[in-house]
Amino acid sequence: PRIARDAAAVAEYIGDPRFQVRTTPRLAAEIVRAIAENVSRAHEIAAPLLVLHGTGGTIAPPAGSALVSSRVSSVDATRLTY
């Protein structure tokens, strides 16, 4: 999968000893649970919000930040993709 546009950043990311290519069922379940909680509680964000989301990677799809951004209650919320 494409991690980033910057080859040096990809090499640094993959070279990090904490980089994992596998996960446990427990970690996967916790990630899914955390995503659901963040989406369900997004309406609680009333402070000004700026969301920046890169579109060149594959780890965090832009649809996720679009969903959360659309659910905040802040009147000053901006989402920018690059």
Give tens-digit pLDDT for 23-69.
Answer: 999 999 999 999 999 999 999 999 999 999 998 878 889 999 999 99
Task: Give the up-direction half-sphere exposure of residue 48: CA atoms within 13 A in the CB hemisphere.
Answer: 1
- Angle between helix 62-71 and 25-41 (nearest 10): 40
Res 78: pLDDT: 97
* pTM for this prediction: 0.72
Q: What's the one-letter identity of residue 12?
A: E
pLDDT at 56: 82
